[in-house]
Chains A and B, each alone.
Chain A
Amino acid sequence: MSTVRLRGFGHRHAGRRRWAVRGIDLEIRHGERVALLGPSGAGKSTLLAALAGLLPPDSGEREGSIDIDGLDPREARPRTGIVFQDPQSQLVMERAGDDVAFGLENRGTPPGEIPGLVDAALRRVGFPYGPTRASNALSGGEQQRLALAGALVTRPGLLLLDEPTANLDPAGADLVREVLDGIEDTTQIIVEHRIAELVGQLDRVIVLEPGGGIRADGPPERVFATHGDQLAADGVWVPGHPVTAHRARVTPGETLLRTESLAYRPVFDELDGVTVRAAEALAVLGPNGAGKSTLALLLGGLLAPSGGCVTATPELAGADAAVPPHKWRASALARRIGSVFQNPEHQFVTAKVRDELMLGAAQPVRIDELLVRLRLDALAEANPHTLSGGEQRRLSVATALAAAPRLLILDEPTFGQDRRTWTELVALLAELRDEGHGVVAVTHDADFLTALDARELRLAPARLAAA
């Protein structure tokens, strides 16, 4: 177990004017389980990277001191472990056991001891398969468990967790939290957007103040009781602060789109009677791998089905209704059905935020209003690829809103958003719905579902033949 000490710590990334994090005085004792909270841009991830020894001296300017058991984080690295958000880009090896062994090999562990340690680590995280299991054949939650095994196998005194459940469905997130709760002999520091489910297993919550310093520090109940309202207003997801619901004010209108024996093999087949109506929100739910994103692409006219069909009604497509959406010209498609992808970067085609919104905009006048509402006005001239993850997500939603299609399909629109952006997005979508647009959202987010008063479509788990 490790003790972490920071005295007036600050870090400024090379080439930036603003300090990413500054004025941090902290002591985290052996075995404490701590969550770092704060609005977007408060420096949570930078602080975690500093603790993991991932900020080399040439990465920027440092002030104050930071040490783990009296050592500089770079020297303490053999006794720290870190797990990141995206499972795909932190697993190194093809087979599960080899991946867990990777950290041991790097530390020069004698080969004879490796298999035993690997097996113990896999057991510790409740990994349900053998060590030769291909890491690509695992679900997101299982991959994160494997990443945890890879971090725990070296018996770290300090475990750092950078949004480890943000990319997972609720079942996968449960798997990860369960493992974290069972770890007894390690100090844990976690950064996570949604912590309501995690609060029960935390000893302490530290809230960073954007611009420097610490706003609050203490047991979760006390911090949320005294600072909860302010935190919620700043965009932090605070447990027990429900979000506003937007009841549908009009009854659902005409059908816009329907499916008949729709199939996309091997993901799913015979999906019958899915209807998308005007002035209604439809939420597509189901575990990872059930084909939710595939369905969104099929409904969006972006993928040719392998069987059955998606039919647009004359209400949506006029004379084109005889033709399936995936055969429409792109310009006609974008006027009628807008799609917002999970990875916003896939959709950017211009070099400026404003141009991105101008492209295909229905009413150019509304663009400035949209920029302000989604807090992108200061970034209007920036290159979309340089925005932060949250800003990119807001921009991709804004581009679809600017085109004002009759039907809008969104894949995980609230992924990793802070509470403020989330609230704004939901309000915009509710407005669209009440104006008579159809809204379809693939989501794991139960709050989103309730807030939009959405009808549920639950996809069954896929029968993965290949896995």
Chain B
Amino acid sequence: MNRAAPIADPAAPLARRNPVAKLAAAAVLALALVVSLDPVAPALALAVELAVVPLFGIRYRVLAQRAWPLLISVLGAVLTLFLFAADRHHILTDALALGLRIVAVALPGVLVFATTDPTDLADALVQNARVSARFAIGTLAAWRLVPLLGQEWRLINAARRARGVDPGRNPVARLRLFASATFTLLVGAIRRGTRLATAMDARGFDSGIPRTTARRQHFTRTDTAFIAATCGVAALAVTVSVLAGTFRPVFS
């Protein structure tokens, strides 16, 4: 399964926003939260993020299904910090702050990719953010082939078993087999990538003629307002944390 396939109602008010606007909003929040080490700012941001989830057309239950690997890794990070941190003084607040921070930074990213079709993202990057088509469309085309890699990996390992190659419990043999299967996977991926590049070339991609676009992506005033609102949320979170006296910038 393609984990990035849209799971949201595409007509929801925030899901409909221009992909570039959504990316920018996620970046603003991430930047604000990365610089502050306290639990208050991420807690506030996270509260707002969770409150707007329905506006992205995603149900909380679906979100939980999609995001559980994230939650588990956060739990791991928090637990590690709690058990092994050298500074035992503020250990509880530190661990809490770290956990909240990771979730508050990652959730916007999850929302963006859950509500954005890859084709729309590439189109918007080219049309609204002036990213080169060579990069955006090229990446998009390669992205189509990603699900094939998982299938390929299973076949490669089955093929090795068919040849009687079986590492058993020997860790060195396991590692060697893993390396050789990875090599085979890479050879295949490069071959397929080269064929795809040739096919794109043959269809006139990147030939120097100015490209037109079949699908228009519009960056509207609502999109600007959406980014501005996100900036407001980020500013609010940091301000509250400063006023509460808990703000600790990362570079102090």
Contacts and interface: CB of A to CB of B under 8 A. Distances in A.
A92 B164 contact: no
Contacts of A300: 158, 162
Contact of A88 (B145, B164, B202, B203): B145
A89 B195 contact: yes
A26 B140 CA distance: 40
Nearest to A150: B203
A108 B212 contact: yes
B166 A330 contact: yes
A441 interface: no
Contacts of B144: 91-94, 135-136
Nearest to A118: B214
B65 interface: no
Given A334-B162, A347-B159, A107 B209 contact: yes
Contacts of B50: none
Contacts of B13: none
Given A102-B205, A300-B162, A88 B214 contact: no
B164 A331 contact: yes
Contacts of A135: 144
A52 interface: yes
B198 to A, nearest CB: 6
B210 interface: yes
Given A77-B207, A346-B184, A84 B195 contact: yes
Contacts of A345: 184, 187-188
B212 A109 contact: yes
B177 to A, nearest CB: 8
A303 B162 CA distance: 11
B238 to A, nearest CB: 39
B55 to A, nearest CB: 25
Nearest to A106: B204
B164 A335 contact: yes
Interface stretch (A174-182, A283-291, A336-344, A443-451): A336-344
A142 B210 CA distance: 31
The number of chain B residues touching the other chain, given as a range, is 35 or more
Contacts of A88: 145, 148, 192
Contacts of A108: 209-212
Contacts of A103: 203-204
Interface in B109-129: 117-119
Interface in A124-147: 135-136
Interface string B181-212: 00010011000110110111111111101111
B170 interface: no
Contacts of B119: 93-95, 98
Contact of A114 (B145, B165, B198, B214): B214
A412 B161 CA distance: 19
Given A54-B201, A86-B195, A105 B165 contact: no
A298 to B, nearest CB: 11
A111 interface: yes
B93 interface: no
Contacts of A84: 195, 198-199
Contact of A399 (B163, B201, B202, B214): B163
A360 B202 contact: no
Given A110-B212, A346-B156, A338 B162 contact: yes
Contacts of B145: 88-89
Given A92-B141, A102-B203, A302 B158 contact: yes
Contact of A52 (B162, B163, B202): B202
A364 to B, nearest CB: 15
B215 interface: yes
Contacts of B160: 330, 347, 349
B212 A346 contact: no
A10 to B, nearest CB: 21
A275 B148 CA distance: 32
B200 A92 contact: yes
B202 to A, nearest CB: 5
Contact of A105 (B140, B188, B195, B214): B214
A346 B162 CA distance: 10
Contacts of A154: 204
Nearest to A297: B158
Nearest to A100: B214
Contacts of B203: 81, 92, 102-103, 106, 150-151
Contact of B163 (A78, A115, A347): A347
A135 B158 CA distance: 27
B220 interface: no
A29 to B, nearest CB: 23
B252 interface: no
Contacts of A250: none
Nearest to B119: A94
Contact of B199 (A90, A111, A331, A341): A90
Contacts of A343: 155, 188
A111 B216 contact: yes
B216 A333 contact: no
B193 to A, nearest CB: 8
B142 to A, nearest CB: 10
A432 B140 CA distance: 48
B180 interface: yes
A111 B162 contact: no
Interface string A36-58: 00000000000000001110000
Interface string A221-247: 000000000000000000000000000
Given A339-B162, A399-B163, 9 more contacts: A52-B202, A78-B204, A89-B192, A93-B144, A98-B215, A115-B214, A135-B144, A330-B163, A345-B187
21 contacts: A52-B202, A82-B199, A89-B192, A89-B195, A92-B140, A92-B203, A98-B215, A103-B204, A106-B204, A106-B205, A115-B214, A300-B158, A302-B161, A329-B166, A333-B161, A333-B162, A337-B162, A343-B188, A346-B188, A349-B180, A359-B164
**Top 8 A-B pairs ranked by shortest CB distance?**
A334-B164, A330-B166, A106-B204, A90-B199, A346-B159, A339-B162, A101-B214, A302-B158
